[in-house]
Amino acid sequence: MSGPTESEDTCGWRCPEHSDRVAELFCRRCRQCVCALCPVLGAHRGHPVGLALEEAAHVKKLTQEYLKQLTTKKQQQVGNRNQIEDAAEQLKAHAESSKTWLTGKFTELRLLLDEEEVLAKKFIDKNTQFALQAYGDQIRSCEDQIDILSSLSNRVCSISQETDPVQLLQT
């Protein structure tokens, strides 16, 4: 029989082969708690043994060290994750500020272009007005000439219609 006893004996377990004895040793080959008789006379004769309490303390120490390593590794991973998350946040913020900057710049450029467009159209209007004025002057001058030529033709026409040769020659 094996199992915890109510006493505070070493290991608190009974030897599986000698149930009247406390299993105070640990057989390293069989990985089993046995009594002091077993490595001398019993099934664990010649097997390497150690004090169960010391073995347990050793295993406990190893597991605690391993746990410490695991904790350290976990902390490192947490640190890595936080760094990457920070980098991602910074990237997002940088992208947003770049876009805001571009919005400002392009708004500025559009305003400048609008101004340039207005100025260019005004320039066209002004030059067109000058040219139209010159055309108007030329048209008036042509009309003056036409009037002069018309009155001249009228005179010539009336002269040509003169039937009296004397009148025709003396006009």
The binding site for Zn ion (CB under 5 A) comprises 15, 17-18, 27, 29-30, 34-35, 37-38, 42, 44, 47
Nearer to Zn ion, 31 or 165 (CB): 31
Nearer to Zn ion, 11 or 35 (CB): 35
The distance of closest approach from Cβ of residue 20 to Zn ion in the complex, given in angstroms and rounded to an integer, is 9
Q: Is the dihedral of CA 153, 159, 160, 162 positive or negative?
A: positive
Q: Which is nearer to Zn ion, 2 or 127 (CB)?
A: 2
CB of 2 to Zn ion, least distance (A): 11
Closest contact distance (angstroms) between CB of 28 and Zn ion is 8
Q: How far is the CB of 11 from Zn ion (least distance, A)?
A: 12
Residue 4 or 136 having the CB closest to Zn ion: 4
Query: Structure tokens of 96?
Result: 């947003």
